[in-house]
Amino acid sequence: MLTGCSMEDAQCGGGEYPVLTVGSTGGACVTNGEEPPKGYVRYPEGKVPEHVGDKWDEYWSTHTINEKGDIIKAPAE
């Protein structure tokens, strides 16, 4: 029976949104209504990963946002 639930792993739990580490490909989850902690930024509108392995999750594994807010290629780890 189909239930409408996705079998994909969500980036964050209910009531949270994903944020990106400035200058790196790391990330975290922040409670809705709160601002990202220092060193993290919100993903640009329309480029937010929703599930592990989706197109934006893959994109942000090779890109990041610098201190100026520009999208750049991620530095080699």
Beta strand 40-42 pairing with 16-21: antiparallel
pLDDT tens digits for 10-19? 899 999 999 9
**Which residues, at least 6 apart from 52, have a Cβ–Cβ distance to it below 8 Å?**
8, 9, 10, 11
Output the pLDDT for position 2.
40
Tokens 């592990």 belong to 52
> pTM value?
0.84
pLDDT tens digits for 25-77? 999 999 999 999 999 999 999 999 999 999 999 999 999 999 999 999 998 86
Question: Is the predicted pLDDT of residue 5 greater than 50, yes or no?
Answer: no
Terminal C-alpha separation, the chain: 43
